Structure 1
Amino acid sequence: MKEAEALLAHLKPQLGREIHVGPWLKIAQERIDLFAEVTGDRQWIHTDPLRAAKESPYGGTIAHGFLTLSLLPTLTESNHPDFFQKNYPGMRMRVNYGTNRVRFPAPVLSGSQIRARTVLLAAEAVGDAVQIIYAITVEIEGGSKPACVAEFVARVYP
């Protein structure tokens, strides 16, 4: 398909390069509490600031790892209205295909700020789609370890 070939040509010079650094996002306790409510994961280390201050090795509540993971579209700004045409010219639809690897090396304390750095790892034609693999590292402002390291897989269709 011409559209897929054109997209692969567009992506090829970016392979192995950092293609995006997102803005900082503050992880407030309210966001953590809402995520706990939606997922049913109300473990005290996430939702009880008083107990977490006394008993947690982190000195306070922390975000769920899956909350951090769920924020990848926001952190990478891939849900921004201009993102699609800029990054996938000639394509009409993108589908979240999944992740290859996900790790949570460091906790995100309530009140911390995080942001994502994205590297384009691979792009190939798969049927009538283009499959793209990104390495995404979510860093914590002032932290020495990342909050999340993930390989995200998307498929884009003409």
Structure 2
Amino acid sequence: MVIIKSHAEFESHLGQELGVSPWHKITQEQINHFADATLDPQWIHIDPERCKSESPFKTTIAHGYLTLSLLPYFWRQVVDVQNLKMEVNYGIEQLKFGQAVVVDSEVRCRVSLKSIVNLRGITKATLFIQVEIKDQPKPALAGDVVFLYHFM
């Protein structure tokens, strides 16, 4: 795990891979909870029996936004940003969903520091992220995630 305590430490990683998170298994229970929380009970996510006969995947798949919502969890597995007053999710740019995540797949996140800017004492970090699916050639999603860090 990379530990970052200042803008200068963050900047020293520019253009480098920061790390890869451990694998996380996407279960049907997690998919069902996400469907309930987001009011998105589409059958392709929550109906295993119907998926066996009607889905091209022959099983349920995770919501794309469920996979995306794991980014803060994955990020904390890769980097520990310390000495902060505040961290703000600022944006997502150029995000593409590359492949469906079928139930019981394992996913992880690979993170690189694409750019970093000091905005009058606030660090704006743009991370290139890829959520990989175990034993699959294409990522579940890839894009740039932007955070603002207010270091002490």
What's the TM-score once normalised by structure 1's chain length?
0.87
Q: Partner of 2:112: helix, strand, or coil?
A: strand
The size of the alignment, in residue pairs, is 147
User: How far apart are the structure 1 equivalents of 2:12 and 2:94?
Assistant: 24
Q: Partner of 1:62: helix, strand, or coil?
A: coil
> Which residue number corresponds to residue 35 of structure 2?
36
Q: Partner of 2:18: helix, strand, or coil?
A: strand
> Which residue number corresponds to residue 63 of structure 1?
62
User: How far apart are the structure 1 equivalents of 2:60 and 2:120?
Assistant: 45
> Which residue number corresponds to residue 121 of structure 2?
128
- Kindly provide the CA deviation profile for residues 102-158 of structure 1, in whole angstroms up to 9, marking residues without a partner as x: 111000000000000000001101233110000010000001100011210000113
User: How far apart are the structure 1 equivalents of 2:27 and 2:74?
Assistant: 15
* Equivalent position amino acid for 1:24 in 2: W
Q: Partner of 1:101: helix, strand, or coil?
A: strand
Q: Unaligned 5+ residue runs, structure 2?
A: none
* Equivalent position amino acid for 2:116 in 1: A
> Which residue number corresponds to residue 52 of structure 2?
53
Within the alignment, does 1:137 sit opposite 2:130 as a pair? Answer: yes
* Equivalent position amino acid for 1:84 in 2: V
User: How far apart are the structure 2 equivalents of 1:105 and 1:10?
Assistant: 32
- Structure 1 stretches (4+) deviating beyond 3 angstroms? none
Structure number having the greater strand percentage: 2
Fraction of identical pairs, as percent: 39
Q: Partner of 2:130: helix, strand, or coil?
A: strand
What's the TM-score once normalised by structure 2's chain length?
0.90
Within the alignment, does 1:83 sit opposite 2:80 as a pair? Answer: yes
Q: Give the Å deviation of 1:20.
A: 1.4
Equivalent residue in structure 2 for 1:116, among 109, 121, 133: 109
Structure number having the greater helix percentage: 1
Within the alignment, does 1:95 sit opposite 2:92 as a pair? Answer: no
